[in-house]
Amino acid sequence: MFEIKKLSMNLDMVIYNQSGNIILDLYKEHRQLSINTKYLPILFFFSEANYEEELYYQDFPDFDNITLENIVAEFITKKVLVYVNESEEKNNTLGIDTLNKSINYYYWANKVFTEEKYNSTYDEFMTLMDKRKSQPNIYKEYPGEKYDLPFPQEIKEDLMTTMLKRESIRYVDPQKKINLQDLSNILYYSNGETAYALDSGIGSAIFKTLATPGGRAASELYFVNFSLSEIPLGIYHYSIKSHNLELIKKGNYRDDFFNICGGQIQLNLANGLLVTTERIDRIIWKYQDASAYRSALIETGELAQNIYLTATALKVATGIIGTFRDNMLESLLDIDPALEFGTAIFTLGKKEGLTRFNRPTLEEYREGEK
């Protein structure tokens, strides 16, 4: 028996307006279609699954039924409309498709399917020479008060031992404090400059304690002081160029970050926070394809591991937070979200017998909430 199936808009499609044109972005197939706005009511009729025959009973004064049939047939051919069983059928295993639409779109839209070849060194040099005037500065600096950091100390802890000891330790003893030397070591060995070069192709280039794709040094570090006595409470930017802290805002911002991170209790116990960001404008200046976002993810991962390993070697407790309100964070850091975005927040503190399995008691929770 022939089964009549319902039609629905393709779930793997994003619709947006670009310069007055309606764009249908079938992002999994890397195909974009432009349609006249007068066709939108027909498309939106299938925003919920409907039988095609029901369309002809609707009021579309600009179209007769034959025209409607042709439009629907074209939408089906272009996979703008799909039959419901095709649209709703999902793999039972968890994966990218189980996440929300924005993450799906970001993931699939940046995948590379075409055959691409790298430019020769000479071709890349000539291309970058044409763009030198628009090159973003690889050093970020804030005006205002500067606070010098102690010279980084040599850390003699064995690397393999440190890697095996690495843990996320979120709950610390608020009575025990890290000091400015600890902070200086963590900042420098996580994201510090080891050398500077003036490259004939890309201009200024920084060599850091982490691999920075394309020499763009896109990662930035910020420190939020909750309890260190050597410097005022406030939000600071770590200057890679000068190895010092640049004061952005003075004050106690513990409650602000508690709200930004959705009320996670470890924010009430930590001595301070490290905030990592990526300057996407530096990367895009050199890479104009999907590798730009991969470069940001690569550098973020390296920075996170450096923070963990350095903190572990110094017996400083740290734990990563990946969920936060981006717009509130951008406002506190005074960053432009079109050029720079937050990637992670790390709590810092001290605790005897460092281990994530040593959970705080109810009394310690209550003490931390005060």
pLDDT of residue 369: 62
- In this prediction, residues 222-227 reach a mean pLDDT of 97
225/296: higher pLDDT: 225
Reading the block at residue 197, the tokens are 């070069």
Q: Is the pLDDT of residue 113 over 80?
A: no
pLDDT of residue 362: 63
CATH hierarchy code of domain 145-369: 3.40.109.10
Reading the block at residue 300, the tokens are 């973020």
pLDDT in tens, 318-335: 999 999 999 999 999 999
Rounded Cα distance between 9 and 26, Å, is 11
CA 350 to chain centre: 28
- Percentage of the chain beyond pLDDT 90 is 58
pLDDT of residue 260: 95
- In this prediction, residues 122-148 reach a mean pLDDT of 80
Global pTM value? 0.78
How many Cβ atoms from other residues are within 10 Å of residue 12's Cβ? 18
Q: Where are the beta strands (DSSP E) in the chain?
A: 7-9, 14-18, 21-26, 31-35, 81-83, 146-148, 193-199, 203-208, 219-225, 234-239, 244-250, 272-279, 317-321, 340-349
pLDDT of residue 252: 97
DSSP assignment, residue 367? H
* 3 state SS of 177: coil
CATH hierarchy code of domain 7-109: 3.90.930
Write the CB contacts of 134 (distance below 8 Å, at least 6 apart in sequence): 285
What is the overall mean pLDDT for the chain? Answer: 87
Nearest to 191 by CA among 255, 139, 267: 139
Residues 106 and 184 sit within 8 Å (Cβ to Cβ): no
Which CA distances in Å does 76 have to 29, 69, 73? 15, 11, 5
* Count of CA atoms in the C-beta half-sphere (13 A) of 332: 26
pLDDT of residue 1: 46
- In this prediction, residues 68-86 reach a mean pLDDT of 90
- In this prediction, residues 169-196 reach a mean pLDDT of 93
For the chain, give every domain's residue range.
Answer: 7-109, 145-369
pLDDT in tens, 162-174: 998 899 998 888 8
pLDDT in tens, 194-214: 988 776 666 677 889 999 887
Nearest to 84 by CA among 55, 113, 110, 48: 48
Rounded Cα distance between 357 and 346, Å, is 18
